Amino acid sequence: MAAKVSFIKSAVLPKDYPQHDKFEVAFMGRSNAGKSSLINNMSNSKIAKVSQTPGKTRLLNFFNFNDSYVLVDMPGYGYASRSGDEVEQWQPMIEEFLSERPCLAGLVLVMDIRRKWTKEELVLVQFVHTHGRPVAIALTKADKISKPEIQKAVAKHKKDSKINAVFVISNTRKSGHEELEDYIYKEWIQTQEVAYKENYGADDPVEDET
């Protein structure tokens, strides 16, 4: 059954973030990693813009995903043509969201399976882990390499990242995203909901409207 996904809003500043009673899952990756295509396959619709020019996402885009959680499409990183002023504008936005958003359940790091783990990924994961957020890795473009190469790439990324939640994705073949969806819901959303209820006696992380 296809997921029911709807756009909520785009935002830059915390005061403009949507208020809701759900946990959030952020998706982030290099500008040409296939993040938008992955989100579109998960939603079975073209909710995320797929551009021929990498780095088009400038805002935090919030989507209601199946009334289960809010999916947050974040700006890509590592695209060389960004100006210094632009980086100065969106880097604080990303860091503030990842560190201070109280309802953020986890981060999905989207990577081209053919790329190596770099210092940029290491710094990002360490930053997210420092603030108590779990990370999963979605390795896209798996249709570009052979099965033995896929196995080697998965093993290498697990070793380099110290993360076991690694998912092989082919946006072209529309494969792998269902396993990622199941993991997000069972390991992050349900777990967070149970923990929140035990700690606060409520079902969902209701945003403070003050």
What pLDDT was estimated at residue 81?
44
Phi-psi region of 177 (alpha: psi -120 to 50; beta: other; left: phi over 0): alpha
Domain count, the chain: 1
Helix, strand or coil for residue 41?
Answer: helix
Q: Flag whether 207 is in a domain.
A: no
Q: How far is CA 36 from CA 45, 78, 111, 139, in A?
A: 11, 16, 12, 13
Is residue 176 situated within a structural domain? yes
Q: Residue 208 domain-assigned?
A: no
Which pTM was predicted? 0.88
> Domain range for residue 148?
5-11+19-200
Instruction: Please list the rounded mean pLDDT of every run of 10 residues in the chain (210 residues).
Output: 82 94 95 89 78 59 94 76 55 90 96 93 94 97 97 97 97 94 96 85 57
Q: For residue 166, is it within any domain?
A: yes
205 is a domain residue = no
Say which CATH number the domain at 44 has. Answer: 3.40.50.300
What is d(CA 144, CA 60) in angstroms, rounded to the nearest whole number?
Answer: 29
Would 76 be classed as within a structural domain?
Answer: yes
Closest CA to 111 of 90, 81, 133, 141: 141
